[in-house]
């Protein structure tokens, strides 16, 4: 009898290991994703950590013309001069591409990264999703940005997102209560990561969130807001995020390399931060926005959407420290506006991933990093990167047309 009980218990343990083992392993990998000794490998191999769905390189690949350029030696922050080369090393940069007037003027890789290696973008992915929403809106698939998202996602009636407008969600002003602190193990964003690793769908997770403020009055970063926009895009187009990106952007601007989205167990793309691509292809997306949404004479993203994406149309969206925002940078349609001056803008992801666009100097900078120190010096690293990018843009902007 005892032997049968022991055998039954062993069988139950084996079955549990088969069913839950892979998910437990994913949770373990998620918890240790940013460890100093693992972060570089993980950021270059996210498809070995989580399930993914592929995005194919364009048939007609775009190659940048090139021209010579040397990075400036220094940049300034708070009246202190720093070495640019030392800063790139300090912030654990693993790649950077600089474009000027559409030409490749600088490209370099470190820490095992390379020109054909896909790298996690984190929240840079939000700006890609914004472009897809803009295209769907221009096609008439969304009636009005002031529509509540629950008009299209009926299963969110009775949740924290009921009645929240699409525009407020685009501008991270949904009023949803959310702790985005990656350094806090019990934060909402880390709770989200563990839930997805265990197989909870992002849709179900979003339904657990509550609204604590009047929408449209306070700018507060909520990554799940972007995932709500992804669900909206799927609903109104009848296509996956991957297929939308492939057809509406990837093929049209000549992306050179295969890419991929991380997905949850339902197959839904992690649109809030799961896009993995190469630096040159990130730079192409920045160039698309530098050119007001046009590529080779075709309007790929509506020019009016591009303009609105980095415009500030509310006091709570202005850069600076003030009572109506938890952010020091300003915010548009899933793009950041660092301010002072207000002409440049950027897509930004945690651990120092960036696509920087400066229309004045006609410079685009794409940069990836594996900066394990990010959470301990978040604001400094963000401000330092803007200062570095502006120094590079200023130097590149001084190049002549025929240089």
Domains by residue range for the chain, with CATH: 39-397 (3.40.710.10)
Q: Name the pLDDT band for 20 (thresholds 50, 70, 90).
A: very low
Q: Tens digit of pLDDT for each residue in 201-238?
A: 899 999 999 999 999 999 999 999 999 999 999 999 99
Distance CA 105, CA 323 (A): 41
Distance CA 272, CA 213 (A): 22
Paired tokens of 329: 């940078």
What's residue 302's pLDDT? 98
56 contacts 258 by C-beta, under 8 angstroms: yes
Strands 275-277 and 294-295: unpaired
Q: Which residue has the tokens 């993914």?
A: 52
What are residue 106's DSSP bridge partners? 98
Q: Name the pLDDT band for 324 (thresholds 50, 70, 90).
A: very high
Q: Tens digit of pLDDT for each residue in 35-61?
A: 999 999 999 999 998 899 999 999 999
What's residue 9's pLDDT? 47
- Residue 131 to residues 91, 140, 210, 305, 368, Cα–Cα distance (Å): 29, 14, 27, 8, 21
What's residue 278's pLDDT? 98
- Residue 184 to residues 35, 197, 312, 385, Cα–Cα distance (Å): 14, 18, 30, 24
Averaged pLDDT, 186-196: 80
What's residue 18's pLDDT? 43
Paired tokens of 350: 């945690």
Any idea how long the chain is?
Answer: 403
Q: Name the pLDDT band for 3 (thresholds 50, 70, 90).
A: low
Q: Name the pLDDT band for 184 (thresholds 50, 70, 90).
A: confident
Number of neighbours of residue 224 by Cβ within 10 angstroms: 23
250 contacts 259 by C-beta, under 8 angstroms: yes
* CB burial of residue 270 (10 Å; 0-12, 13-18, 19+): buried
Would you give the distance in Å from CA 136 to the centre of its chain? 19
Q: Which residue has the tokens 């295209």?
A: 135
Is the peptide bond preceding residue 345 cis, with omega within 30 degrees of 0? no
DSSP H/E element including 47: none
Q: Which residue has the tokens 């330092």?
A: 384
Distance CA 104, CA 86 (A): 23
State the average pLDDT for the chain: 92
Averaged pLDDT, 78-87: 97
Percent of the chain past pLDDT 90, that is, above it, reads 81
Q: Tens digit of pLDDT for each residue in 270-321?
A: 999 999 999 999 999 999 999 999 999 999 999 999 999 999 999 999 999 9
**Residue 121: is its pLDDT beyond 80?**
yes
CA gyration radius, the chain: 22
């Amino acid at each position: 009898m005892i032997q049968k009980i022991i055998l039954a218990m062993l069988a139950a343990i084996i079955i549990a290991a088969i069913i839950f083992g892979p998910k437990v392993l994913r949770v373990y990998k998620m918890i240790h994703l940013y460890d100093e000794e693992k972060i570089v490998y993980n950021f270059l191999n996210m498809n070995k950590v989580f399930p993914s769905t592929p995005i194919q390189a364009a048939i007609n690949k775009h190659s940048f013309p090139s021209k010579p350029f040397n990075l400036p030696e220094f940049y300034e922050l708070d009246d202190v001069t720093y070495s640019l080369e030392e800063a790139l090393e300090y912030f654990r940069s693993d790649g950077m591409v600089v474009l000027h007037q559409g030409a490749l003027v600088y490209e370099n890789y470190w820490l095992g990264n390379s020109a054909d290696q896909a790298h996690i973008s984190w929240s840079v992915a939000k700006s890609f999703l914004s472009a897809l929403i803009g295209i769907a809106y221009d096609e008439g698939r969304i009636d009005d940005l002031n529509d509540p998202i629950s008009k299209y996602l009926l299963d969110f009636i009775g949740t924290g997102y009921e009645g929240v407008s699409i525009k407020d969600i685009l501008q991270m002003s949904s009023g949803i209560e959310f702790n985005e602190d990656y350094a806090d193990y019990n934060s909402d964003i880390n709770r989200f990561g563990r839930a997805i690793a265990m197989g909870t769908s992002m849709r179900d997770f979003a339904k657990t969130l509550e609204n604590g403020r009047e929408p449209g009055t306070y700018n507060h970063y909520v990554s799940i807001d972007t995932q709500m926009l992804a669900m909206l895009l799927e609903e109104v187009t009848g296509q996956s995020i991957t297929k939308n990106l492939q057809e509406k952007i990837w093929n049209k601007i000549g992306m050179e390399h295969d890419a991929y989205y991380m997905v949850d167990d339902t197959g839904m793309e992690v649109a809030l931060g799961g896009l993995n691509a190469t630096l040159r292809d990130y730079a192409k997306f920045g160039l698309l926005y530098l050119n007001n949404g046009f590529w080779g004479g075709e309007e790929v993203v509506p020019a009016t959407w591009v303009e609105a994406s980095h415009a500030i149309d509310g006091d709570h969206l202005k850069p600076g420290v003030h009572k109506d925002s938890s952010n020091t940078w300003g915010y548009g349609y899933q793009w950041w506006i660092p301010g002072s001056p207000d002409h440049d803008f950027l897509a930004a992801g945690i651990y120092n991933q960036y696509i920087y666009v400066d229309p004045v100097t006609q410079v685009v900078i794409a940069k990836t990093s594996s900066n394990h120190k990010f959470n301990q010096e978040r604001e400094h690293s963000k401000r330092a990167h803007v200062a570095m990018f502006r120094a590079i843009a200023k130097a590149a902007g001084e190049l002549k047309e025929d240089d």
